[in-house]
Amino acid sequence: MSYRVQVRVMPRGGLLDPQGQAVEHALSALGFPDASAVRVGRAIELEVAAESRREAEARVRQMCDKLLANPVTEDYLLEVGES
Task: Give the footprint of its own copies on this chain (CB under 8 A).
Answer: 6, 8-10, 20, 23-24, 26-27, 30, 32, 34-50, 59, 62-63, 66-68
Residue number with CB closer to its own copies (8 or 53): 8
**Spatial separation of the C-alpha atoms in residues 71 and 11, rounded to whole Å:** 10
**How many CA atoms does the CB half-sphere of 31 hold within 13 Å?**
0
Least distance to its own copies, CB of residue 11, Å? 10
Least distance to its own copies, CB of residue 38, Å? 4
> With contact defined as beta carbons under 8 Å apart, do 5 and 48 qualify?
yes
Least distance to its own copies, CB of residue 66, Å? 6
Backbone region of residue 81 per phi and psi (left: phi > 0; alpha: psi in -120 to 50; beta: other values): beta
Residue number with CB closer to its own copies (16 or 37): 37
